Amino acid sequence: MVVLNKELMTIVREVDVIPFRNRLKEHAVKIGMGLVNQTKIITAASELARNMLKYAKGGKVTLEVISTGRENGIRLTFKDQGPGIANIPMAMKDGYSTAKSLGLGLPGTKRLVSEFNIESEVGKGTTVTVIKWKNG
């Protein structure tokens, strides 16, 4: 897998999400991703950025355009140094929320992307990586 483009953005305030979403959209359009897949990855990104803001006081997101040769896609890595998640399987359940919100962010995101990975250590932070293939 090769990385065709890589940029790092910091998200510490709610308004930071807008330029990030716009940048993501630009890249998705550039690789020819269709409107439905664009909408899915941007919605997923929105959920993950919101989680970072809400639970970890912000963090950093790496936006990469990747290619396997056969297929192009976008990889996003959300990395924060927040409290971490003690029970990941629980957090991945529909409706589970420690904030009394809908609890759809993590499980919903997983459904919206092609590949999903979450790593978290209590007291250290959380890293969520997602890939959306152009035709995935």
Partner 1 sequence: MEKIPILRMGRLLLVTIQVDLYDRLAESLEADLVQMINKTGARGVLIDISAVSIIDSFMGRIIGNIAAMSKILDAETVVVGMQPAVAITLVELGLPLSGVFSALNVEKGMELLRSKLTNMERNVDGSDDGSAE
**Which residues make up the interface to Mg ion (CB under 5 A)?**
51, 105
- C-alpha 42/C-alpha 44 separation (Å) is 5
Spatial distance between the Cα atoms of 133 and 10, rounded to a whole number of angstroms: 24
Q: Which of partner 1, Mg ion, ligand ADP, none does residue 1 bind to, with CB < 5 to 8 Å depending on kind?
A: none
Residue carrying the six token digits 């290619």: 67
| Contact between residue 5 and residue 18 where contact means Cβ atoms under 8 Å apart | no
**Is residue 111 involved in binding partner 1 (CB under 8 A)?**
yes
Task: Report the C-alpha gap between 26 and 38 in whole angstroms.
Answer: 10
- Could you give the string, one character per residue 3-32, with x where binding to ligand ADP holds by CB under 6 A and - elsewhere? ------------------------------
Residues from 38 through 67 that contact ligand ADP (CB under 6 A):
47, 51-52, 55-56
Smallest separation, CB 71 to Mg ion (Å): 29
114 lies in the binding site for partner 1 (CB under 8 A): no
Q: Does 103 bind ligand ADP (CB under 6 A)?
A: yes
